[in-house]
């Protein structure tokens, strides 16, 4: 390694630097992580994860054992059994933020034709869950990268739309060329041919970041006013940001909910509240007030169960609840579509 005085020289490979803290999820045989580590001559800045357990990886991929051993020697943090759609509530990631969060070729498994709408929904849900989690694990100047095929039917996953659901800004896409990543072997990752590559064809690196000026969790209230709900959902143009209606969550014991955590609740539920209002129109029933009251009561009960505990746990519960709501509404929509097709 080149050394200048006591400072190590920063090394780059494509979009990634040895000075970045990098999280990789959904790794196959860990050859991509190892490629970065080799380029940096170190992996101390890398957290590499797989959904598979260590034992499954060794069975599935002939090079996984050697790749993982090498990564460990280079100082990588290796985690297995990490579901990218739930990772942010893992204790190991509490308060951990990254410059780059990478998911190479997310795919929910091989269950028949790739143009099957149900299968596309499964794949999109995987990316959706990943983006939701990654968005709260990103440093303010960080980027989420998803490498993805753009030929049909993969192009119809519409990653930009999914990202906008979590207030991520789509910053563009670059050609993905496997030869830029020496040693990387893309893997099918599921089924009895897990260790085989899939044809790459035309692929891109999709890049997303937090809205400028947004610090991690602090999303909804700092979003630019021009960020609107998609036109197709609107009955009237209503910006997602309505700070005046979100103000002041006072607890009955005289405490005030810490401003940052208050914003957290807004980030999680703000879009939901707007959606409710747009769907049902304005009624005498104040949905904002009711939800705010429910959040206040929930928070009081949470704190009463174990006085003095950090409010972050409550935020984690809300995130999980939000995720379940999204899944449930997708499921309901799917059921309605199926019913439509039957009649
Ligand atoms: C097409 S393979 C790509 C594997 C690897 N990223 C590569 O580029 O070679 C899709 C990967 O997504 C992973 N995956 C599927 N669902 C996941 C989830 N919920 N969380 C994390 N990884 C997931 C699978 O385990 C598999 O490794």
Q: Where are the domains of the chain?
A: 20-210, 220-342
Residue 15's nearest CA partner among 77, 79, 87, 101 is 101
Please, are residues 63 and 95 in contact by the beta-carbon 8 Å criterion?
Answer: no
**Closest CA relative to residue 81, chosen from 49, 48, 51:** 51
184 lines ligand 1 (CB under 6 A): no
Please provide the average confidence, as pLDDT, over all residues in the chain. 79
Pocket test for ligand 1, best of 25, 26, 128 (most atoms within 8 A of CB): 26
Q: From the CA of 103, how far away is ligand 1's center (Å)?
A: 8
What confidence category does residue 33 fall into, taking pLDDT thresholds of 50, 70 and 90? very high
At residue 228, the pLDDT reads 26
Higher pLDDT, 331 or 135: 135
Confidence of residue 167 (pLDDT cuts 50, 70, 90): confident
How many whole angstroms separate alpha carbon 279 and alpha carbon 276? Answer: 5
For ligand 1, whether the C-beta of 84 sits within 6 Å is yes
pLDDT for the residue 253 = 40
The response to whether residue 133 sits with its C-beta less than 6 Å from ligand 1 reads no
Task: Give the mean pLDDT of 86-98.
Answer: 91
Does 152 have pLDDT greater than 80?
Answer: yes
pLDDT band with cut points at 50, 70 and 90 for residue 207: very high
Q: What is the CATH number of domain 20-210?
A: 3.40.50.150
CB of 181 shorter than 6 A to ligand 1: no
Residue 275 has pLDDT above 80, yes or no: no
Evaluate: CB of 28 within 6 angstroms of ligand 1.
Answer: yes
**Percentage of the chain exceeding pLDDT 70:** 70
For residue 181, the model assigns a pLDDT of: 98
pLDDT the model gives residue 281:
58
**64 vs 236, higher pLDDT:** 64
Q: What is the mean pLDDT of residues 130-137?
A: 93
Give the C-alpha separation, 290 to 79, whole Å: 41
> Distance from the CA of 140 to the center of ligand 1, in angstroms?
26
- What is residue 343's predicted lDDT score, i.e. its pLDDT? 67
């Amino acid at each position: 390694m080149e050394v200048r005085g006591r400072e190590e020289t920063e090394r780059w490979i494509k979009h990634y630097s040895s000075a970045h803290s990098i999280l990789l999820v959904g790794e196959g045989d860990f050859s991509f992580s190892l490629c970065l580590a080799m380029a940096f001559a170190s992996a101390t800045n890398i957290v590499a994860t797989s959904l598979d357990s260590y034992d499954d990886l060794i069975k599935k991929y002939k090079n996984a054992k050697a790749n993982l051993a090498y990564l460990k020697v280079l100082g990588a943090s290796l985690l297995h059994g990490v579901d990218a759609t739930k990772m942010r509530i893992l204790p190991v990631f509490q308060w951990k933020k990254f410059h780059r969060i990478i998911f190479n070729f997310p795919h929910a498994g091989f269950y028949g034709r790739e143009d099957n709408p149900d299968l596309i929904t499964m794949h999109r849900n995987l990316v959706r869950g990943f983006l939701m989690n990654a968005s709260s694990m990103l440093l303010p100047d960080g980027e989420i990268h998803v490498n993805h095929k753009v030929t049909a039917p993969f192009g119809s996953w519409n990653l930009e739309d999914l990202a906008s659901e979590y207030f991520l800004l789509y910053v563009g896409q670059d050609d993905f060329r496997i030869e830029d990543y020496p040693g990387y072997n893309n893997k099918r990752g599921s089924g009895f041919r897990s260790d085989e590559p899939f044809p790459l064809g035309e692929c891109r690196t999709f890049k997303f970041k937090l809205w400028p000026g947004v610090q991690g969790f602090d999303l909804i209230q700092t979003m630019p006013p021009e960020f609107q709900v998609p036109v197709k959902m609107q009955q009237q143009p209503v910006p997602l940001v309505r700070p005046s209606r979100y103000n002041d969550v006072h607890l009955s014991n005289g405490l005030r909910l810490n401003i940052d955590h208050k914003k957290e609740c807004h980030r999680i539920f703000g879009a939901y509240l707007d959606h409710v209002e747009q769907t049902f129109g304005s009624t005498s029933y104040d949905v904002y007030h009711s939800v705010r009251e429910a959040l206040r009561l929930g928070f009081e009960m949470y704190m009463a169960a174990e006085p003095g505990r950090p409010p972050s746990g409550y935020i984690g519960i809300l995130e999980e609840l939000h995720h379940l709501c999204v899944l449930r509404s997708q499921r309901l929509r799917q059921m309605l579509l199926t019913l439509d097709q039957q009649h």
